[in-house]
């Protein structure tokens, strides 16, 4: 069917055919008209610029902010707008040119924000139809534009003081894609860009573009020049740029700037670049380089940057700034496309010079060169940097002022704080930095170099004395470690100088956040100075051994090691110690132990323990000491401190300890040991144990109470324990050996020793048990007790006669020593002795001995003594039941002659019963008895005693008694009775009314015996004709005495006794028998 048939009228056509005809008639003419209009417009645009100003005036002004009803709206105005189509070939759509004049943004009140006198821009039409802006040329002549920057560094149009909801739109908009691949021409003349910070009118900056003419041609590349100026607060930066052809494939650029202060412009940079505010010094740049001509977007081939620095500073956080005198750097860059990808970009610093001024206003020159290789200049991933730094001379006293804070921060902190003086020279440093993931992951992989230091002062641990006048060589072992070797230093203390021949300081972790130091010093010098260092409060290594020492001397050689974090605040718990040394010729004086000489040994102190050994001579006694102490907390029951002392003591050395033995009592040597241990108990108490041991095996000991020969094993031991410093026990007081067995322990009361018990007690012939008690210092009542109970008690050594050691005669002894009464010790005393046998001589003993005494305030209150065999003896002192001012005293013996003979007092008496009764006065008189007692008054009676080898007076009197001549042949005077009244004080024994006689003779006597000097002055008479038995029984009657004297008056011999008790002189007058009695 032919389609045209629908256009011909026909009566047979259907209703839908008529509909098609009418539709075509209505639509085709307008379409043809529009098509012709478009064709005409294209033709017109191709003929030249088309002024569309009248057409677009319907939308003038164009509101860009707010609404027309808003009194503060901002609108765009223009004077002239034209369009022009630019084609490369006939009727080919190539580009669209927009030309505008008199563009301005103004407020409703007439204020002009932005103005452009003349603006032209050309877009690629094909891309514009697709929604992409592809500018190829741009030109702005005359005018200005105002922008502002928000806190996030985003740039927007400055439209004045408008509400936040109606602020200007950000530039550029991200709703359209912009493609600069075909951009090849830009012309700016007399154009100003103004920028302010937010709404602050005082923070402004502007870019004054006098001329900018850049163009790109495929044959010549980019060419042109530019002259710009950045203006802020009357500070200007002049910038210039020149682009020109350099050969067939390259375009050269030359860019220059005048001096400017980077810190002045940090305000306008993004937060990531705000650190430029730290650069407070003038900088000038000059850059030359080449672009590859084929690359429209400016792929560079090489460049050279010359950087000049003026006088200023580099600010540092929380520290003084680095002061810069001047500097200059040259940087060369190359982009080698033929090289491997990771090394395509190469930067070199062939020469760099920076002069810093320290806080002493002295300059330090830093010379730098280096190289960088990467895959890209601006966004690299593979980076390798090598830098070399050289400094001819440095002053350690001011090093901190020229050492950047963030460069090896821990090492800087420690070196600047602890190496406080000295000079360094020949400082060279080479560092290698690498990364495979860009700048964020860059790390130092190599570090080389070092320096030499002279006359340094190194504080190894403040506030201890530093090492002075030392030479040092510092060198990097790796990127993570710096070693400083020390030589020829001196550690000067208040008590001597310690030489430091060598040393080493190792700083590690330089590339990490935290750094550590390892210090090793070799020490050689005087012991007093070394002890002062170790006992310093900062170290506290000897705080537990606060022993007062005087006249300390000695030599020491050893090593001191410290490990510590390089932090500004270092605690003792953070410091690791390792001190080891040997010492010789040590000597000192201690008030307790005396002088120590010829000491030698070694010790080691670490963070965890102390170990020491010492061999020396104390008071001429060689001894050795070992100490081991743990500083770490140990589990309960484990020893954390142990001391051991060993000594070999000879008899002649005991005198140095205040022990004076009689000559020839001991020979050989005693091996003494003492162990001290300390630990913590389960109940968290500090337990200390002291064990003592004496080895007497090699001792030959001869004493009256105990003897042993050399080679026979004998030991004495003891143990003491403390809890939290309080003495809790003294036990294991043991002695073992020939005729020696002791086991005892002390009695304690709240840490004070108040007594001693020994069970069993076997020393020589002594066998039994002993209990002693005494008061503590602050006890008001001073109670003492001495109790002995046993089988044998040997007191013969104390009763044995000692050889005279003093040639002085009795009358040469000072009278004060002779006349003083016997005094008792102060305090309340209770003494009791019970023994089955008590030896008073080598082979003589008494049996069933009982004795007891009690005294207080140096006055004997009561006492008793009893013996069972060989002769009964009883002594009793007690309070009188009738007179409180007297003490009753009785003494009785069944055989006084035998007793005196057993005691080796005299052999001239045999038998005899003795009885003494009397009393002591309690009150103290001028002539007291002693023992706190007054004089004694009493009566004695003696029965049936025989006198052997009687003196001549008795023989002579017997000669005049014819009935008793038979006794002359037996040389003994038998059946003698005696009685007397006597008085005793501390000096004299006075006899009154003494009677002596038997069945053959009778007589009387009186006189005085000096108890101190043992001098006798006696006199009396004796008669051969009268028995003395009868009157003696009536001795107490005065008339009996008178009667006796009358009977003897005609037949009595008189005599006198002078001399001493041991050597009496008897003078007899035989002719007195014929004279009356005196």
pLDDT score for 852: 92
Q: Give yes or no: residues 928 and 987 share one domain.
A: yes
User: Can you give the pLDDT at residue 808?
Assistant: 45
CB 611 within 8 A of CB 603: yes
Is residue 631's pLDDT more than 90? no
- Pair of tokens at residue 539: 């170290």
Is the pLDDT at 169 greater than 50, yes or no?
no
Residue 487 lies in a domain: no
Looking at the predicted structure, is the pLDDT value of residue 1034 above 50? no
Averaged pLDDT score across all residues of the chain: 81
Pair 841, 692 in one domain: no
Q: How much of the chain, in percent, has pLDDT values that exceed 90? A: 23
pLDDT digits (tens, 9 = 90+) for 665-701: 888 898 999 999 988 888 888 899 999 999 999 999 8
Where a domain ends, among 732, 762, 788? 732
Last-in-domain residue among 836, 855, 870: 870
Residues 845 and 709 reside in one and the same domain: no
pLDDT at residue 498 greater than cutoff 80: yes
Question: Quick check: bond before 285 cis, omega within 30?
Answer: no
Give domain status of residue 1055, yes or no.
yes
Contact 541, 534 (CB under 8 A): yes
Whether 382 is covered by a domain: the verdict is no
Are 970 and 1021 found together in one domain? Answer: yes
Residues counted in the chain: 1078
Which of these, 946, 872, 959, lies nearest to 909 by C-alpha position? Answer: 946
pLDDT for the residue numbered 815: 44
In a domain, 831, yes or no: yes
Lowest mean per-residue pLDDT among 29-38, 99-108, 500-509: 29-38
Mean pLDDT of 874-888: 87
pLDDT-derived band of residue 1029, with 50, 70 and 90 as boundaries? very low
- Residue 641 in any domain: the answer is yes
Give how far Cα 568 sits from Cα of 461, 620, 958, Å.
12, 51, 114
> What is the band of 226 on the pLDDT scale with cuts at 50, 70, 90?
very high
839 strand-pairing partners: 794, 845
The mean pLDDT value for 971-990 works out to 81
Cα gap 946→896, rounded to integer Å: 11
User: CA 473 from chain center: how many Å?
Assistant: 30
Q: Are strands 235-246 and 135-149 parallel, antiparallel or unpaired?
A: unpaired
Q: And the tokens for 676?
A: 């001290």
Comparing 156-170, 241-255, 426-440, 1060-1074, which segment has the lowest mean pLDDT? Answer: 156-170
- Determine contact, residues 774/830, Cβ cutoff 8 Å: no
- Could you tell me if 694 and 750 lie in one domain? no
Residues 376-382 have a mean pLDDT of 84
Residue 8 has pLDDT above 60, yes or no: no
pLDDT reported for residue 211? 94
Q: Is 1045 helix (H, G, I), strand (E, B) or coil?
A: helix
837, 700: one domain: no
Token pair 């004694």 is at which residue? 936
SS3 67: coil
pLDDT at res. 100: 92
Q: Are residues 970 and 1018 in the same domain?
A: yes
Q: Residues 698, 758: one domain?
A: no
Give the C-alpha distances (Å, rounded to integers) separating 356 from 424, 669, 723, 837.
Answer: 16, 76, 64, 102
Q: Most confidently modeled of 360-374, 521-535, 766-780, 1050-1064? A: 360-374
pLDDT in tens, 824-854: 888 899 999 999 998 887 788 888 999 999 9
The pLDDT of residue 1035 is 41
Q: Say whether both 988 and 940 belong to one domain.
A: yes
Tell me the mean pLDDT in the region 489-496.
84
Across residues 984-1013, what is the average pLDDT?
Answer: 81
pLDDT at residue 348, rounded to an integer? 92
Instruction: Work out the average pLDDT over 748-762.
Output: 90
779: Cβ contacts below 8 Å, ≥ 6 apart? none
Residue 1069: pLDDT over 80: no
Judge contact between 690 and 644, C-beta under 8 A: no
Residue 206 lies in a domain: no
Give the pLDDT confidence score for residue 294 in this predicted structure.
Answer: 67
Q: Which of 674, 697, 732 is the last residue of a domain?
A: 732
Q: What whole-number distance in Å separates Cα of residue 280 and Cα of residue 309?
A: 10
- The runs of H, that is alpha helices, within 96-234 are 125-129
Mean pLDDT, residues 472-481:
85
pLDDT cut 70: percent of the chain above it = 83
d(CA 329, CA 798): 104
990 and 1033 together in one domain: yes
Give 930's DSSP letter.
B
Is 208 within the bounds of a domain?
A: no
Q: Which helix (H) or strand (E) holds 294?
A: none
Report the candidate in 785, 786, 788 with the shortest Cα–Cα distance to residue 760.
788
- pLDDT class of 139 with cuts at 50, 70, 90: very high
**pLDDT given for residue 285 in this prediction:** 94
- Please report whether residue 479 resides in a domain: no
The three state secondary structure string of 649-684 is ECHHHHHHHCCCCCCCCEEECEEEEEEEEEEECCCC
Q: Are the beta carbons of 576 and 424 closer than 8 angstroms?
A: no
Segment 632-643 shows an average pLDDT of 85
- Report d(CA 408, CA 393) in Å as an integer: 20
| Residue that wins the pLDDT comparison between 1078 and 344 | 344
Question: Do residues 715 and 743 share a domain?
Answer: no
* Count of the separate structural domains present in the chain: 3
Residue 486 clears pLDDT 50, i.e. is over it? yes
Query: What is the reported pLDDT for 36?
Result: 73
Is residue 1001 classed as helix, strand or coil in its secondary structure?
Answer: coil
pLDDT digit string, tens, across residues 776-826: 877 777 889 999 999 999 888 877 665 544 444 444 444 444 445 677 888
Do 1051 and 1030 share a structural domain?
Answer: yes
Q: What is the DSSP code string of 8-62?
A: S--TT--HHHHHHHHHHHHHHHHHHHHHHHHHHHHHHHHHS-EE-HHHHGGG-SE
Give 275's pLDDT tier (boundaries 50, 70, 90): confident
Cα(489)–Cα(465) distance, integer angstroms = 12
When mean pLDDT is compared across 111-115, 168-172, 260-264, the lowest value belongs to 168-172
Band (pLDDT 50/70/90 cuts) for residue 744 is very high
Alpha helices, DSSP H, located in 332-408: none
**198 CB burial (10 A radius; 0-12, 13-18, 19+):** exposed
Most confident stretch, 30-34, 487-491, 493-497, 541-545: 487-491
**pLDDT digit string, tens, across residues 904-922:** 767 777 888 989 999 888 7
Overall pTM surpassing 0.75 (yes/no): no
Angle at the Cα of 695 from the Cα atoms of 686 and 654, rounded to 5 degrees: 95
Q: What is the pLDDT of residue 219?
A: 78
Nearest to 214 by CA among 303, 142, 139: 139
Query: Which residues constitute the domain of residue 637?
Result: 633-732
């Amino acid at each position: 069917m032919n389609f045209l048939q629908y256009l011909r009228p026909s009566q047979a056509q259907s209703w839908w055919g008529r509909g098609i005809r009418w539709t075509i008639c209505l639509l085709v003419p307008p379409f043809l008209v529009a098509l012709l209009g478009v064709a005409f417009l294209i033709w017109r645009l191709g003929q030249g610029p088309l002024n569309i100003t009248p057409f677009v005036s319907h939308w003038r002004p164009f509101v860009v902010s707010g609404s027309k009803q808003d009194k503060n709206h901002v609108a765009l105005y223009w004077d002239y707008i034209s369009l022009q189509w630019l084609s490369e070939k006939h009727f080919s759509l190539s580009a669209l040119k927009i030309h505008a004049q008199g563009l301005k943004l103004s407020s409703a009140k007439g204020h002009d924000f932005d103005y452009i006198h003349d603006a032209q821009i050309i877009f690629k039409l094909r891309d514009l139809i697709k929604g992409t802006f592809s500018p190829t040329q741009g030109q702005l002549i005359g005018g200005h534009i105002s922008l502002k920057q928000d806190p996030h560094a985003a740039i927007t149009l400055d439209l004045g003081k408008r509400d936040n909801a109606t602020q200007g739109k950000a530039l550029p908009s991200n709703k359209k894609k912009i493609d600069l691949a075909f951009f090849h021409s830009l012309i700016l003349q007399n154009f100003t860009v103004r920028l302010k910070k937010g709404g602050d009118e005082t923070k402004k900056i502007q870019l004054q573009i006098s001329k900018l003419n850049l163009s790109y041609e495929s044959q010549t590349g980019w060419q042109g020049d530019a002259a710009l100026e950045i203006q802020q607060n009357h500070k200007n930066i002049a910038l210039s740029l020149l682009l020109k052809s350099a050969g067939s494939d390259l375009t050269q650029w030359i860019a220059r700037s005048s001096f400017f202060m980077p810190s002045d412009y940090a305000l306008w940079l993004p937060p990531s670049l705000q650190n430029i505010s730290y650069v407070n010094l003038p900088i000038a740049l000059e850059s030359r380089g080449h672009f590859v001509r084929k690359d429209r977007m400016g792929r560079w081939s090489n460049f050279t940057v010359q950087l000049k620095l003026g006088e200023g500073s580099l600010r540092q956080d929380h520290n003084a700034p680095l002061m810069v005198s001047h500097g200059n750097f040259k940087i060369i860059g190359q982009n080698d496309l033929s090289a491997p990808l990771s090394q395509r970009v190469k930067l070199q610093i062939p020469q760099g010079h920076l002069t810093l001024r320290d806080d002493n206003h002295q300059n330090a020159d830093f010379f730098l060169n280096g190289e960088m290789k990467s895959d890209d200049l601006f966004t690299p991933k593979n980076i390798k940097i090598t830098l070399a730094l050289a400094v001819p001379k440095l002053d350690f006293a001011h090093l901190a002022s020229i050492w950047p804070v963030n460069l090896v921060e821990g090492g800087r902190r420690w070196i600047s704080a602890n190496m406080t003086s000295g000079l360094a020279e020949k400082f060279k440093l080479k560092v290698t930095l690498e990364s495979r993931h860009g700048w964020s992951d860059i790390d130092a992989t190599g570090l080389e170099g070092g320096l030499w230091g002279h006359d340094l002062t190194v504080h190894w641990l403040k506030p201890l004395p530093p090492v002075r006048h030392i030479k040092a060589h510092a060198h990097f072992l790796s990127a993570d470690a710096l070693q400083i070797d020390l030589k020829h230093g001196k550690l000067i203390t208040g008590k001597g100088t310690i030489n430091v021949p060598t040393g080493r300081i190792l700083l590690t972790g330089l590339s990490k956040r935290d750094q550590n130091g390892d210090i090793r010093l070799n020490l050689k010098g005087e012991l007093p100075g070394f002890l002062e260092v170790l006992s310093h409060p900062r170290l506290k290594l000897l705080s537990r051994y606060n022993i007062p020492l005087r006249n300390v001397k000695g030599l020491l050689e050893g090593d001191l090691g410290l490990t510590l974090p390089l932090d500004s605040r270092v605690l003792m718990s953070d410091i690791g110690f390792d001190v080891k040394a040997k010492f010789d010729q040590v000597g000192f004086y201690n008030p307790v132990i005396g002088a120590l000489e010829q000491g030698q040994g070694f010790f080691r102190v670490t963070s965890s323990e102390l170990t020491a050994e010492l061999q020396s001579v104390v008071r001429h006694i060689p001894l050795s000491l070992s100490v081991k102490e743990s500083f770490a907390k140990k589990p309960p029951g484990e020893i954390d401190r142990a001391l051991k002392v060993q000594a070999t003591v000879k008899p002649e050395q005991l005198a140095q300890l205040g022990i004076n033995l009689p000559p020839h009592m001991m020979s050989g040597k005693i091996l003494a040991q003492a162990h001290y241990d300390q630990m913590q108990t389960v109940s968290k108490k500090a337990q200390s144990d002291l064990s003592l041991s004496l080895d007497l095996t090699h001792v030959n000991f001869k004493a009256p109470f105990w003897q042993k020969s050399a080679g026979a094993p004998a030991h004495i031991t003891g143990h003491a324990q403390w809890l939290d410093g309080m003495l809790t026990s003294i036990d294991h007081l043991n002695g073992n050996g020939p005729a020696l067995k002791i086991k005892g322990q002390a009695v304690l009361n709240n840490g004070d020793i108040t007594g001693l018990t020994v069970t069993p007690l076997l020393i020589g012939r002594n066998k039994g048990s002993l209990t002693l008690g005494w008061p503590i210092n602050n006890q008001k009542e001073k109670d003492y007790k001495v109790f002995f109970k046993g089988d044998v008690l040997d007191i013969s050594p104390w009763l044995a006669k000692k050889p005279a050691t003093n040639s002085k005669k009795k009358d040469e002894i000072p009278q004060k020593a002779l006349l003083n009464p016997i005094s008792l010790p102060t305090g309340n005393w209770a003494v009791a002795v019970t023994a089955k046998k008590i030896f008073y001589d080598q082979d003589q003993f008494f049996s069933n001995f009982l004795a007891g005494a009690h005294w207080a305030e140096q006055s004997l209150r009561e006492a008793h003594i009893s013996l069972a065999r060989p002769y009964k003896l009883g002594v009793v002192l007690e309070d009188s039941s009738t007179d409180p001012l007297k003490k009753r005293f009785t003494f009785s013996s069944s055989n006084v002659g035998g007793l005196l003979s057993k005691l080796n007092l005299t052999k001239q008496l045999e038998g005899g019963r003795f009885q003494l009764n009397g009393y002591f006065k309690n009150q103290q008189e001028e002539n007291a008895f002693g023992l706190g007692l007054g004089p004694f008054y009493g009566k004695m009676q003696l029965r049936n005693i025989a006198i052997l080898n009687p003196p001549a007076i008795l023989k002579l009197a017997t000669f005049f008694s014819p009935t008793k001549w038979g006794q002359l042949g037996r040389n003994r005077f038998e059946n003698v009775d005696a009685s007397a009244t006597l008085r005793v004080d501390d000096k004299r024994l006075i006899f009154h009314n003494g009677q002596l006689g038997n069945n053959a003779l009778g007589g009387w006597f009186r006189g005085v015996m000096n108890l101190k000097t043992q001098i006798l002055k006696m006199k009396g008479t004796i008669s051969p004709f009268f028995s003395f038995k009868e009157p003696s029984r009536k001795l107490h009657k005065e008339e009996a005495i008178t009667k006796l004297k009358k009977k003897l008056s005609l037949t009595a011999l008189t005599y006198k006794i002078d001399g001493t008790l041991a050597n009496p002189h008897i003078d007899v007058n035989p002719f007195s028998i014929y004279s009356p009695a005196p």
